Structure 1
Amino acid sequence: IYSIGQRGVNQFLKNIAPQVSMTDSGGRVKPLPVQNPAYLSDITEVGHYYIYTQDTQNALDFPLPKAFRDAGWFFDVLPGHYNGALRQVLTRNSTGRNMLKFERVIDIFNKKNNGSWNFNPQSAGFWEHIPKSITKLSDLKIVGLDFYITTEESNRFTDFPKDFKGIAGWILEVKS
């Protein structure tokens, strides 16, 4: 297959699409384009961002209850499709526990079409602990996330089987 074209046309075609910087000029994550965003779905500018713990508390479409928002998160907005669909990825900043990772696809033209957050299980061999403010196992609704319940913690949960409270440590697997 051969092509015939004018001199310089390849350079012209290569430069039609605008270049997008995924990071700041120093190679670090970009600052959020909106301070204290109420909805992460409002952040549609492609790039790698960091969301501080305090900012996670204000986000209404964050995938975790506030009790679990005890860390900062890397937030990636990835290039989208021509029809307005783009992917958002949240990764918990963790070095002493497992990373938590959530992904979804949003529609920049119609928020009603935004997808739900999907939990992507990953493990570095650590168990997730349940925040002390949670007293019901039924409040743990992150499908695919496993928790370790110590002997003492088993007494805290109102819906833990009474015959097994305070006996041993337990692993709780959340299934759909």
Structure 2
Amino acid sequence: MNKIFLALALLLVIGFSVAYWKMGGLKAPTITQETTETPYFLAGRYYEGPANDEAFGDLTREAYQLRKDGKIRGDFGNIFYNSPESSRDAAKVFVGIVVADTVSQQLPANYRYRAFAAGQKVVHARIDASYLLAPDKLYTGIKEYAAANKLTLQNVYLERFPDKGEPEVLAVVK
């Protein structure tokens, strides 16, 4: 009986390891320092409060559903106005969809546009991995890059999670 449990445990470990690898868990992010050339526009809603609050989850699900239903075309994204560490307790975030422009789509009544301005100095992190694994790897990469290059981050972050392509985070540098 113990051999059966050991064999099952080994199979589970191998299965999870293969899944983690296939999702890009062993890949490292690409980190660059650059200046944004064009603005990023988001259609969405602002949220301020605990990140684990149901209201935050509702906004995220609403954005995904609007995108899935074709009511807004673009990639899921957020603009965080505080550091990822402090956002667990008090998130300040604009939740929505990164769109191409602010004129080609009709927004739902409760949605607004926000812009992540062009001309900002940013640390840009991207990774060829699942959006489930990407945020932790991207934020860790940004933090390590900023520390190694003696950069001070302004605690404004743009997250973009495309269906096809690399998830990315842009962190504004002071």
Shorter-chain TM-score bucket reads under 0.3
More strand by share: 2
More helix by share: 2
* Structure possessing the higher relative contact order (Cα contacts under 8 Å, 6 or more residues apart): 2
Q: TM-score, normalised by structure 2?
A: 0.24
Query: Which is greater in Rg?
Result: 1
Q: TM-score, normalised by structure 1?
A: 0.24
